A and B are shown apart, each in its own frame.
Chain A
Amino acid sequence: MPKLDLSTSPHVHSGDTVSSKMTGVLIALIPAYIAALYFFGLGALIISITAIGSCVLFEYLIQRFLLKGSLSILDGSAALTGILLAFNLPSNLPVWIVIVGSFVAIGVAKMSFGGLGNNPFNPALVARVFLLISFPAQMTSWPKPMPWNPAYLDAVTAATPLAILKGQFSEVPDTLNLFLGNMGGSLGEVSALALLLGLAYLLIRKIITWHIPISILLTVFVFTGILHIANPDAFIGTPVFHLLTGGLMLGAIFMATDYVTSPMTKPGMLIFGIGIGIITVVIRVFGSYPEGMSFAILILNGFTPLINKYIKPKRFGKVKRK
């Protein structure tokens, strides 16, 4: 008789793994990545490879030499942070700034809290906001989209539609171009079409539920809609314009839905999403920054533990007897 395992039930497992979830998100990012390469060319390629490579390297070094724990880079979460960070950066950013960002994301925002699952704030967004405050000039110069653009640091720049709205007047692209992503912006945020394809994949594979992305998008749509209808002269941006511009789609679909930093229950997710939507619009419309998505998500990340404490799942047996 072979040596028998005596561990307790259950004796079978679904076979689901952390890396299968992470790989699922990476697959969902493929359309947006293709769009990034198409619109920003060489710059997008350099930035994404740098970000992924340096994020994985930093996690490896920290895990190996500081924490002396088991290897965690194979679960795919470091690579995912890398690509998400790249998606939040302009495509003409110097390589060394990207590496600084990767260090902030992995070293400061993730590993110092204990690695995957323990970070209170979304690592890629912490890095983005850190870079935005530290290098405001470089972080707000946006290359003009050009099919398979061969230029990197010397790419021709243009204002983003949201910045145009804030008074840097030039022509705003039409809705179709906004939807396809033919506008200035961070390399992964421009194409709503590609991001929505990613959302469809995430929902079909059941990697995320609709609650966070849809509540954010709906809140922004309704809030900006009310403002626009109330006073179209003061609030020029239509709801559709707000949905298709800036980091809203990227944030709602890929950043706010990060497992670790978002609430656990469905009602909690709705509160989280509505909160993000409101803060984003307030910053966009009334604040001095043209875009508020990353700030809004980080602020609500801070509320997540509180939401989890008070919004509990529906317990069995609480329903009134029929």
Chain B
Amino acid sequence: MGGIHPKEHKLSAGIRIQNADLPIQAIIPLIHYLGASSTAVIAKGDHVKVGQLIGKANGYVSANVHSSVSGIVNRIEGALDASGNEVLSVYIDVKEDEWLETIDKSTDIKRECILSPSEIIKRISESGIVGLGGATFPTHVKLSPPPDKKAEVLIINAVECEPYLTCDHQLMLEKGEEIFVGITILMKGVGVNRAVIGIENNKKDAIALFQKLAKTFEGITVVPLKVQYPQGGEKQLIDAVLGRQVPSGALPIEVGAIVQNVATTFAIYEAVQKNKPLFERIITITGKSMSRHGNYRARLGTPLTNIVEQAGGVPPDTGKIVAGGPMMGRAISSLEVAVAKGTSGVLFIQTLESSRKKMQNCMRCTQCMVVCPMGLEPFLLMSQTERSMWAETEENRIMDCIECGCCSFACPSNRPLLDHIRFGKMTVGKIVRNRHGKKE
């Protein structure tokens, strides 16, 4: 249903992951996700080690934050994050690279998992793991469905449908077996005996490797998928691999599925088998004018500018810098922001491509409806939002929009459909929450 085929531009595909240099000062945000900020458990002047807890989860939908570097806490204050918000962050002056002794730094693969299901979930929660695909929702929450709902199948999201990004792809090639062990841990944790890995056909090498690995693991199958954006969306992926559609407003568990991203699965392997909390991630640095595209393993809190310098610096014809992919990433105003748990890439867009074209009248060509993966009418939602027709937009299911951007991408009249729909969603969301508030 719906979807588009943007040019892939996977320029950094096949480039081995390199370690990003340690920064002089790391700026680690205490919040990486929707939900409550974690509470700082260190103070100015404290000495911290790599992997040490610095922010404690605050409530259910919240996750721990660990230090990614060793050194002295300089201060705790607000810093701009990649979405342009000021968030409370811990500034650490880096000294050496001293890891907590409990972390197993070896690269040997440990297949056997001795923890019980509840211990696995507990370890994931303690390790501060969130969804690394971009939504950064705390993983332990996703793994703990309400007691009346039973998970039947685990789906591993290895789609990486965003153009340009290759961080997941490269991780799969280099850490395939670890990811499979991570999958078995997840299967044990949520109590399912079946896991399906969805990979798009543009990653033939990863499919071949994973199909080979799948023969040595029980209950895990690889499903090659045709290339289509936004297949990496949770609901779209479940539909693609299981043929089940999650109802409007419901969670994947409604159709018996739990979805985890591959990079998250690798982080879970490291947390459970190596006792290593989440303090680094893979990030793609790319763009058409970039001299050295690459995939970097970066510590959280590393200023983006450090990694970009390492990759050859900002291309001179840059008109837009995007944190994330070109379809759903966010334009950033400065590279001084730090790598967060959800930062999957930095994309440099040339001036030529970055400016929007002039908007024309809607000629009702139906393109936006054809590409909408949720079966909505973007042209109508936009015009109703412009007229503040909130009841009608809600009736036309504006809240189902996943903000994939297919409509704006496809519109021949260059209409900013998603901009308006986002605004409409914000307003309708408030109205809906108020209504629920009154009922209770």
User: Within the complex, what minimum Cβ distance (angstroms) separates A214 from chain B?
Assistant: 17
Q: Which of A7, A14, A20, A72 counts the most chain B CB atoms within 10 A?
A: A14
* Shortest Cβ gap from B60 to chain A (Å): 26
Distance to closest chain A CB from B357 (angstroms): 7
A315 interfacial contact with B, CB 8 Å: yes
Please tell me if the beta carbons of B377 and A312 are within 8 angstroms of each other in the complex. yes
State the CA gap A115–B411 with chains docked (Å): 18
- Is the CB–CB distance between B321 and A4 below 8 Å? yes
User: What is the total of A-B residue contacts with beta carbons within 8 Å?
Assistant: 165
Instruction: List 14 additional contacts besides A12-B409, A312-B377; criterion CB under 8 Å.
Output: A4-B332, A5-B349, A5-B355, A10-B408, A10-B409, A11-B349, A70-B358, A72-B360, A77-B363, A259-B364, A265-B366, A316-B1, A316-B239, A317-B246
Known: A259-B364, A313-B369, A313-B377. A12 touches B326 (CB 8 A): yes
Q: Report chain B residues within 8 Å CB of A10.
A: 326-328, 405-406, 408-409, 418
Stretch from B62-70, B189-197, B312-320 at the A interface: B312-320
Contact B248 A315 (CB under 8 A): yes
**In the complex, are the beta carbons of B245 and A14 less than 8 A apart?**
no
A: contact size bracket: 35 or more
Give 3 nearest A-B pairs by CB, closest first: A10-B405, A117-B361, A315-B375
Give Cα distance in the complex from A298 to B256, angstroms.
Answer: 50
B residues near A, CB below 8 A?
1, 4, 6-7, 163, 235, 239, 242-248, 250, 255, 314, 316-322, 326-333, 347, 349, 351, 353-358, 360-367, 369, 372-377, 379, 396-397, 400, 403, 405-406, 408-414, 418-419, 422
A264 in the interface, Cβ–Cβ < 8 Å? yes
Which A-chain residue is minimally distant from B7 (CB atoms)?
A12
Partner of B363, one of A18, A313, A315, A316: A18
Judge whether A61 is part of the interface by a CB distance below 8 angstroms: no
A269 smallest CB distance to B (angstroms) = 9
Q: Chain B residues near A265 (CB, 8 Å)?
A: 366, 369
Closest A residue to B5 using CB positions? A14
A115: chain B residues at CB < 8 Å are: 361
Instruction: Evaluate contact between B412 and A21: CB separation under 8 angstroms.
Output: yes
On chain A, the residues within 8 Å of B250 by CB distance are 317
Q: Is A66 an interface residue (CB 8 A)?
A: no
Q: Is the CB of A5 within 8 A of B363?
A: no
A317 to B379, CA, bound (A): 21
Assess whether B6 is in contact with A260, with CB atoms less than 8 Å apart: no
Chain B positions within 8 Å of A4 at CB level: 318-321, 331-333
Q: In the complex the two chains form, what is the Cα distance from A75 to B242 in whole Å?
A: 44
Enumerate A1-50 residues with CB–CB distance to B below 8 Å.
Answer: 1-2, 4-14, 16-18, 20-21
Among the listed B247, B358, B363, B418, which residue makes an inter-chain contact with A8, where contact means beta carbons less than 8 Å apart?
Answer: B418
Is B331 a contact of A2 with CB atoms below 8 Å?
Answer: no
Q: Tell me the bound Cα distance from A20 to B365 in angstroms.
A: 12
Chain A residues near B372 (CB, 8 Å)? 313
Q: What are 5 A-B pairs at a CB distance below 8 A?
A: A7-B356, A9-B418, A10-B326, A264-B377, A313-B376
Known: A18-B412, A317-B400. A117 touches B331 (CB 8 A): no
